[in-house]
A and B are shown apart, each in its own frame.
Chain A
Amino acid sequence: MIWKKLQDIDRRIIYTLMIVFLLYPMMFPIGIPIEIDATTKDVFNTLKALNPATDTVVLAASYSVGGAPDVGPQFDAVAKHLFELKIPFLVPSFVSDGPAQVERVLARLESLGLVYGVDAVNLGFITGGEAAVKAFVDNPRTVFIKDFRGNVVADLPIMQRVDKVTDLAYVLDFQTGNPGYADWIRQAPGVKYGAGLVTVSVPAAIPFVNSKQIVGMLKGLRGAAEYELLMERPALAVAKMDAQSLGHLLIVALIILGNTAHFVDKKLSKK
Chain B
Amino acid sequence: MSISTNPWVWIMGIGMVSLFSFIYKENAAYRFFEHVFVGAAAGYFLQMNYVNILDRAWIPLVAKGRYSLLIPIFLGLLLYTRFFKRYAWLSRWATSFMIGIGVGISSFGMINAQLIRQASAAMMPFLVKDKLGVILWTRSANNTLMILGTLSVLVYFFFSYTPKGPVKEVTHFGRWVMMLTFGVAFGNVVMGRISLLLGAFERIFGTWLGLL
Taking Cβ atoms with an 8 Å cutoff, the residues of A that contact B are 11-12, 15, 18-19, 22-23, 26-27, 66-70, 72, 96-97, 99-100, 124-127, 130-131, 134, 145-146, 182-183, 185-187, 189, 198-200, 202-204, 207-208, 210-213, 220-222, 236, 240, 243-244, 247-248, 251
Residues of A within 8 A of B181 (CB): 203
**Cβ 8 A contact of A248, one of B52, B117, B194:** B194
Query: For B24, B44, B191, which residue has the most chain A Cβ atoms within 10 angstroms?
Result: B191
Say which one of B87-95, B108-116, B168-176 lies at the interface with A.
B108-116
Report the minimal beta-carbon distance from B72 to chain A, rounded to whole angstroms.
11
Say which one of B98-106, B130-138, B151-159 lies at the interface with A.
B98-106
B191, A222: Cβ atoms closer than 8 Å = yes
Cα separation A220 to B109 with both chains bound (whole Å): 27
Cα separation A208 to B112 with both chains bound (whole Å): 12
A186, B114: Cβ atoms closer than 8 Å = yes
**Cβ 8 A contact of A244, one of B55, B189, B198:** B198
Give the number of residue pairs across the A-B interface with Cβ within 8 Å. 129
Report the minimal beta-carbon distance from A230 to chain B, rounded to whole angstroms.
19
Report the minimal beta-carbon distance from A60 to chain B, rounded to whole angstroms.
16
Residues B29-83 near A (CB distance < 8 A): 44-45, 48-49, 51-52, 55-56
Residues of A within 8 A of B51 (CB): 124-125
Cα separation A69 to B120 with both chains bound (whole Å): 36
Q: Which residue of A lies closest to B120 (CB)?
A: A211
A185, B109: Cβ atoms closer than 8 Å = yes
A182, B114: Cβ atoms closer than 8 Å = yes
**Cβ 8 A contact of B118, one of A126, A189, A211:** A211
For the complex of A and B, 4 pairs with smallest distance between CB atoms: A69-B199, A186-B109, A211-B121, A199-B192
Q: Which residue of B lies closest to A186 (CB)?
A: B109
B197, A131: Cβ atoms closer than 8 Å = no
A-B contact pairs, 5 of them (CB 8 A): A146-B55, A187-B105, A210-B121, A220-B191, A236-B202
Query: For A18, A126, A127, which residue has the most chain B Cβ atoms within 10 angstroms?
Result: A127
Given A26-B201, A199-B188, A213-B117, answer yes or no on A134-B105 (Cβ-Cβ < 8 Å): yes
Residues of B within 8 A of A69 (CB): 195-196, 198-200, 202
Residues of A within 8 A of B45 (CB): 96
Taking the complex as formed, is B3 at the interface, i.e. its CB lies under 8 A from any CB of chain A? no
A220, B195: Cβ atoms closer than 8 Å = yes
B109, A187: Cβ atoms closer than 8 Å = yes
A199, B201: Cβ atoms closer than 8 Å = no
**Cβ 8 A contact of B188, one of A22, A189, A200, A236:** A200
Residues of A within 8 A of B102 (CB): 130-131
Report the minimal beta-carbon distance from A223 to chain B, rounded to whole angstroms.
10
Residues of B within 8 A of A221 (CB): 195, 198
Cα separation A213 to B109 with both chains bound (whole Å): 13
Taking the complex as formed, is B28 at the interface, i.e. its CB lies under 8 A from any CB of chain A? no
Cα separation A183 to B105 with both chains bound (whole Å): 10
Given A26-B212, A236-B202, A244-B198, answer yes or no on A185-B113 (Cβ-Cβ < 8 Å): yes
Residues of A within 8 A of B179 (CB): none
B117, A26: Cβ atoms closer than 8 Å = no
Cα separation A212 to B23 with both chains bound (whole Å): 43
A96, B113: Cβ atoms closer than 8 Å = no
Taking the complex as formed, is B185 at the interface, i.e. its CB lies under 8 A from any CB of chain A? yes
Cα separation A72 to B48 with both chains bound (whole Å): 20
Q: Which residue of B lies closest to A207 (CB)?
A: B118
**Cβ 8 A contact of A70, one of B44, B108, B199, B211:** B199
Cα separation A248 to B205 with both chains bound (whole Å): 21
